[in-house]
Amino acid sequence: MWRGADRGFCLHMGVFQMRHKHADVIIAWANGAQIQTYVNKMGGWMWVDICEPMWWVEDSRYRVKPEPKPDVEFRYTVNSRFLLQGCDSWEKPNLKLAFDGETGELKSAEVLK
C-alpha cells in the first residue's frame, strides 16, 4: 500500500482514495483521546466534549481536546513599607498568588507563614 497522506490521498489495491478529513482525530479517538466538536451554544461558537463523534457529517469540525495550561504561581514578600517579588529576595516570601493558566484570572491568594 502506497500512501500520499501529505497530498490527501492514498493508493490501496490499485485504487486512489481520498484521505478522510478527520483521519488524524479519528486515530487519536481510537487511541483513547477526548474529542471535541465546534458547536453554536447560547449564541456563541465554542468547543465542547463529545463521546460519540459523527464522522460522516460533512460540515462537522472536530479536534483532540488540548491539555489545559498549568496554573501560574508568584510568591511575594509584602510589608507596610515595600513589595519584593520573587523567592530570591533577602526576606522570606509571605504571600502566594495563583493564577488560572487558561484565563489568567486570580484563583487564590494565600498568606504564607
The sheet carrying 35-41 orders its strands as 44-50, 35-41, 62-64
Reported confidence tier of residue 42, pLDDT bands at 50, 70, 90: confident
pTM check: above 0.85 = no
30 with 68: CB under 8 angstroms? no
Average pLDDT over the chain, rounded to whole? 84
Q: β-strand 95-99 against 35-41: which pairing, if any?
A: unpaired
SS3 25: helix
CA dihedral 27, 31, 32, 34 (to 10 degrees): -30
Is the per-residue pLDDT at 41 higher than 90?
no
* Residue pLDDT, tens place only, 7-17: 565 666 666 77
Q: Give pLDDT tens digits for 71-108.
A: 999 988 887 777 666 655 577 888 999 999 999 999 99
- The pLDDT, as a whole number, for residue 14 is 66
